[in-house]
Homo-oligomer: A and B are copies of this chain.
Amino acid sequence: MDFGFSQKSLDLQERLKAFMNKYVYPNEKIHHEQIKASGNPHHHAEIVDVLKEKAKEEGLWNLFLPDTNYGAGLTNLEYAPMAEIMGRVIWASEVFNCSAPDTGNMEILTQFGTEEQKETWLKPLLEGKIRSAFSMTEPDIASSDATNIQMYIRRDGDEYVVNGRKWFISGAARERCKLLITMGKTDPLNPEKHHQQSMVIIPVNTPGVTIKRAIPVFGNVGNEGHCEIIYEDARVPITNILGEEGGGFAIAQARLGPGRIHHCMRSIGAAQRALEMMCQRATRRVAFGKALAEQGVVQDWIAQSRVEIEMTRLLTLKAAWMMDTVGKKAAQDEIAMIKIIAPELHTTVLNRAIQLFGAAGVSDDFPLAEQWVYGRTLHLADGPDEVHKRSLARSCLRQWGNIK
């Protein structure tokens, strides 16, 4: 169990921190204002393109991709601290072409894509020229169990005909989003429930595809947009299948692990930054005749936050290390564990920070409010906490007896 970072990772961390200090933090306000000024919540802030060029120049690009041909070739453990650093600013990952859902999509394109698919979709994604969405969740079923998915992908000669409704498809409202990697059933009657599904690449502008709306989440449609999408007889050539027919479930599984590490590490980054902001504010702000830093309840919040952050970080590093050394399957309990605890950390620490900041904490003058609300969605994204607790408990229990 060695969580020590390689020299390569340590170097990249230093360069990434320097980049954040020099380019990202100073531009948080501008990012916010550019979107606001545009009048379009899904507007691509101009500053992001400026920063992307700089990040590319500095080699801080595609760090998430373990593949050495297409990406930085870092292990999960090596990349984890990078995700933490990026997570300190809610939009920073994109600057380094490391933002969801593109990261997961690039991974599966790398692993399962044909040469043509790679040329058409992976290449511009790796270059940061286009964006993508992952179209899986459906409104009418409990999507946390992917076998429930109902969308029908019917083969018709050389084409697939896609019908169904998806929602909370993040990123689909972005101007640059060009493709929807879409999961549906090509073989709904297959007795093997895990071989009914397939994934196909559907260009956003395919006739029959309607992005109905970006669903407001806590009152905001968000920059990326969590979209409801209607597919009515949308047709794509059969060459648009990703991997094999019937292989959709397996690809979805393959996509999961690293994405969870990234999400959790970003949550840790968000919490860590909130802790630092709490400390800074507490030493400068006076109430009832003494600095907030001198007040017992504030000290309690700070101490608890520090402990919880450090524990969650270690657990996430362990999960990453296990994925690297024994593989995703053997690491599935650890992955469930971080999926359970990281959203809790995210909302708990941010909530304390907001309380310490008072009215300023709920305002948009600081990034706390946005991060807290975002954290709340993570208790549900990729399945509600309770589903992961159930899986983990059953895995524990199975060592002691039969579980139905």
Report A's interface with B, CB cutoff 8 A: 1-5, 137, 139, 142, 144-145, 167-168, 215-220, 275-276, 279-280, 282-284, 286-288, 291, 293-300, 302-304, 306-307, 310-312, 314-315, 317-318, 333-334, 336-337, 340-341, 351, 354-355, 358-365, 369-370, 372-373, 376-377, 379-380, 384-386, 388-390, 392-394, 396-397, 399-404
New A-B contacts (6) at CB < 8 Å, excluding given A303-B388, A303-B390, A310-B337: A137-B359, A142-B288, A282-B400, A297-B386, A311-B314, A355-B386
Contact residues in B for A389 (Cβ distance below 8 Å): 299-300, 303-304
Docked complex Cα distance between A286 and B141 (Å)? 9
Bound-state CA distance A401–B283 (Å) is 5
Beyond A337-B307, A359-B137, A401-B283, whether A215 also contacts B364 by CB under 8 A is yes
Tell me, rounded to whole Å, the shortest Cβ–Cβ distance linking A334 to chain B. 8
The distance from the CB of A317 to the nearest CB of chain B, in whole angstroms, is 8
Q: Which residues of B contact A317 (CB under 8 A)?
A: 1
A293 touching B403 by the CB < 8 A rule?
yes
Check A401–B284 contact: CB distance below 8 A. Answer: yes
Instruction: Tell me whether B397 and A384 are in contact (CB under 8 A).
Output: no
Question: Cα distance A334–B314 when bound, in Å?
Answer: 12
CA distance A363 to B361 in the complex (A): 22
A167 to B360, CA, bound (A): 10
Q: How many copies does the complex hold?
A: 4
Contact (Cβ within 8 A) B384 A355: yes
Contacts of A298 in B (CB 8 A): 296, 393
Question: How many angstroms from the CA of A370 to the CA of B385 in the assembled complex?
Answer: 21
Q: Once the chains bind, are A300 and B297 in contact (CB under 8 Å)?
A: yes
Cα(A69)–Cα(B129), bound, Å: 66
- A218 near B337 with CB under 8 A, answer no
Residues of B within 8 A of A137 (CB): 359
A219-B220, A279-B399, A403-B294 are known contacts. Are A380 and B359 too (CB-CB below 8 A)? yes
User: Which residues from chain B contact A220 at a C-beta distance below 8 Å?
Assistant: 219-220
Nearest to A36 among chain B residues (CB) is B216
Specify which chain B residues have a CB less than 8 angstroms from the CB of A144 in the assembled complex. Answer: 287
**Do residues A397 and B337 form an inter-chain contact, with CB atoms below 8 A?**
no
Give the shortest distance, in Å, between A209 (CB) and chain B (any CB): 21
Question: Is B393 within 8 A of A300, CB to CB?
Answer: yes
Please name all residues of chain B whose beta carbon is closer than 8 Å to the beta carbon of A359 when the two chains form the complex. 137, 139, 167-168, 380
Residues of B within 8 A of A397 (CB): 279, 282-283, 293, 299, 302
Q: List 22 A-B contacts (CB under 8 A).
A: A1-B5, A1-B317, A2-B3, A2-B4, A139-B359, A167-B359, A218-B218, A218-B219, A218-B373, A282-B400, A283-B397, A296-B300, A299-B393, A302-B396, A303-B389, A303-B393, A306-B392, A306-B393, A307-B337, A307-B392, A311-B315, A372-B376
